[in-house]
Structure 1
Amino acid sequence: MTDVETIAKEDSARIGEILKGAVDPHVHSGPSMAPRAIDHLDLARVYSDAGFAAMVSKDHDYSGVMCAKLIEDHHPELTTKVFSGIVLNNVVGGINPYAVEHTGACGGKIVWLPTLAAENHLEWEKSSGWQHPATTQKMRHATAVPLFDGDKLRPEVLDLLDVMAATGMALASGHIHVSETKVVFAEAKKRGVERLIFTHPEDIVGASMDDTKEIADMGAYVEHSLAFFLEGSKFRTRSNEDLKAFIDLVGAEKTILCSDLGQVGTLSPLEGFQLGVATCLSLGYSDDQIRAMTATNAADVIGLEG
């Protein structure tokens, strides 16, 4: 039995207490074109039982704000607040300020720049062996959603950033390349966007440790997907030591841990958080530091009240 497994077993009550008030700002519950192990409502029930304060569902193909509103209206017994956002892939028209305005007006919390349709993602996909689970011969493959015209941001991206500033939603980098993230985030700050999330520098986006520190110094939270670090996750590409290096690079005060789970055949989102806390305990982080990474920081970046 590993140290993490021992801690998870012997300190389950402590882990449960640390997770009271937790926020999962990046979780892939369903329904979705891709197979999901749990839907938004059932996950809200699971997280409510565990004492989570909030969750933000993320789907690569649609805005989940209407699902979140139905759950809020028809299940007042749930103590976990359910939110969503929008990912700017082909299905919603790419960089679509109209869709972003609508998402914000309906309570959305996060706007993700392109993921499956990011130029960087499509290049990464060629050598990664990864294929979107929804890919079939009857569906078009994702096509690139460009952010730049030469070395300048496209007009629709500037329009998007102005909308972001007006709505107060958080802007997450998605799967664009780290070099693009630096330019977009710098312009976003100039235009009054106050909430920035650097999405999983550990995978896909081509970020070095220096890149990650630079973006954190710009005022962004650095969000790490537990799915890439945990033993038992089918998406694991990184070690516990890698997680510690990333956290120590910017500090617990600038780090967010999300599950990035909900897919079939792997850890559940709650298991991901429980093992994530056990991992952090094994790495020597205090209860307060872990609460910052699993609750306080995410609550701040989505503007969670109460």
Structure 2
Amino acid sequence: MEWLFDFMQRYPRVRELEADCADGLFDGLVDTHVHGNPDSLGKRSQDIVDIALDYARRRSRAIVHKDHHYSTVGVAQVAQRHVDHLLEQGRIEHRVEVYGGLPLAYTTDPGFVATAAASPFMRMIFMNAIHGEVLVDGGKVLPAVQDIIRIAADHRIPITVCPPNHSAKYGGADDYPIVATLVECIGRLGAKALLDQPVSAYTVDQIVHLASCGALVGIFCYPTIPDVIKAPVTDPDLTKAVIDAVGVERCVLGSDKGYLLEPDAVHAMRLLLRLLLVWGYSEGQIRTMAAENGARLLFG
């Protein structure tokens, strides 16, 4: 109870807002980090079609389906076809765009990435996925990985950079030097970077530096919002400190939830939008993070 009373004292807006306060903020929203079935890590509570339809009903713009081990590009194409079919039948009123991506798990073969990049449903490369390949050695980005970054730049495909602690192949190496080397290389080669779960791995000052190198900062429901299956990673106030330090112009939203003991993607996102309102961000600032920056990341 001490946490509850302290939170309400620091953020009195939590007593003032209505239950529907975040509903309008879904309009045009881009969820850059969606987990749903099929998923290689374990059963999720929804498949990607269900998640897409939840967002379509809230008039969101796009979602990106992530898996740590295999491509979600084909799944995205099938899900999009189903969404479009329902739209044509008049069973939904709004089209949400569904995209997939490719994790660098098992291989860093540039040809593998180049083949996927030819698909219009390919909108993300995931670096340092769980069990992902080593991308930086001796303080340098490996040549094959540099080629992948060039492919991403040529096709304007963003790169999500996960903390290296996701992969045991780094042998417990410090997260920040590896990610800083990657982000600096991504910026130098003209590609777009998105930091995955930065508040779980780096200090605020480190995140500010990564953003200064051109990276957008992922403000995700996990780890900002604790749940049962994943232990609390950070004080949610750290997320607010990061937003204030880098500015809303550098922040992008994502759900990153969906296990059976977690909220569904849309419900988690609604909690995050409410939290941003409680913290005192204006609707305009939240739309910048929820819609404008996500669109710039995916389509800019």
User: Structures share a fold, TM > 0.5?
Assistant: yes
Structure 1 residues 267 and 9, CA gap change in structure 2 (3 angstroms): farther
- The Cα offsets for residues 149-172 of structure 1, whole Å up to 9 and x where unpaired, read as 433322211211221121110011
Report deviation, 1:104: 1.5
Establish whether residue 238 from structure 1 lines up as the match of residue 234 from structure 2: yes
Structure 1 residues 51 and 12, CA gap change in structure 2 (3 angstroms): farther
Counterpart in the other structure of 2:96: 80
Structure 1 unaligned regions, length at least 5: 119-144
Counterpart in the other structure of 1:53: 61
Report deviation, 1:8: 9.6
- The Cα offsets for residues 77-135 of structure 1, whole Å up to 9 and x where unpaired, read as 16111011111112xx2x221221122111211101122125xxxxxxxxxxxxxxxxx
Question: Which residue identity does 1:83 align to in structure 2?
Answer: Y
The answer to whether the Cα contact below 8 Å between 2:163 and 2:198 also exists between their aligned partners in 1 is no
- The Cα offsets for residues 199-251 of structure 1, whole Å up to 9 and x where unpaired, read as 11112xx3111110001111111102212122546433223322211110101
- The Cα offsets for residues 154-192 of structure 1, whole Å up to 9 and x where unpaired, read as 221121122112111001112322211211222222222
The answer to whether the Cα contact below 8 Å between 2:216 and 2:252 also exists between their aligned partners in 1 is yes
1:264-279 superposed matches below 5 A: 264-279=260-275
**Correspondent of 1:182 among 177, 180, 183:** 180
Structure 2 unaligned regions, length at least 5: 88-93, 165-174
Question: Which residue identity does 1:117 align to in structure 2?
Answer: H
The answer to whether the Cα contact below 8 Å between 2:13 and 2:278 also exists between their aligned partners in 1 is no
Establish whether residue 26 from structure 1 lines up as the match of residue 24 from structure 2: no
CA distance in structure 1 between the partners assigned to 2:105 and 2:203 by the alignment: 25
Counterpart in the other structure of 2:44: 36
1:143-292 superposed matches below 5 A: 145-176=133-164, 177-193=175-191, 195-203=192-200, 206-232=201-227, 234-235=229-230, 236-292=232-288
Establish whether residue 112 from structure 1 lines up as the match of residue 131 from structure 2: no
**CA RMSD of the aligned region, Å?**
2.2
Report deviation, 1:262: 1.7
Question: Which residue identity does 2:209 align to in structure 1?
Answer: E
Question: Which residue identity does 2:25 align to in structure 1?
Answer: I
CA distance in structure 2 between the partners assigned to 1:189 and 1:23 by the alignment: 22
Report deviation, 1:74: 3.6
Establish whether residue 67 from structure 1 lines up as the match of residue 75 from structure 2: yes
SS at match of 2:114: helix
Question: Which residue identity does 2:28 align to in structure 1?
Answer: G
SS at match of 1:115: coil
SS at match of 1:257: strand
Number of residues of Structure 1 aligned to a counterpart in Structure 2:
272
Report deviation, 1:73: 2.6
Question: Which residue identity does 1:241 align to in structure 2?
Answer: D
SS at match of 2:77: helix
The answer to whether the Cα contact below 8 Å between 2:243 and 2:251 also exists between their aligned partners in 1 is yes
Normalised by the length of structure 1, the TM-score is 0.82
Deviates further, 232-241 or 53-62: 232-241
**Correspondent of 1:16 among 20, 23, 28:** 23
The answer to whether the Cα contact below 8 Å between 2:83 and 2:95 also exists between their aligned partners in 1 is no
CA distance in structure 1 between the partners assigned to 2:55 and 2:13 by the alignment: 23
Report deviation, 1:252: 0.9
CA distance in structure 1 between the partners assigned to 2:154 and 2:221 by the alignment: 31
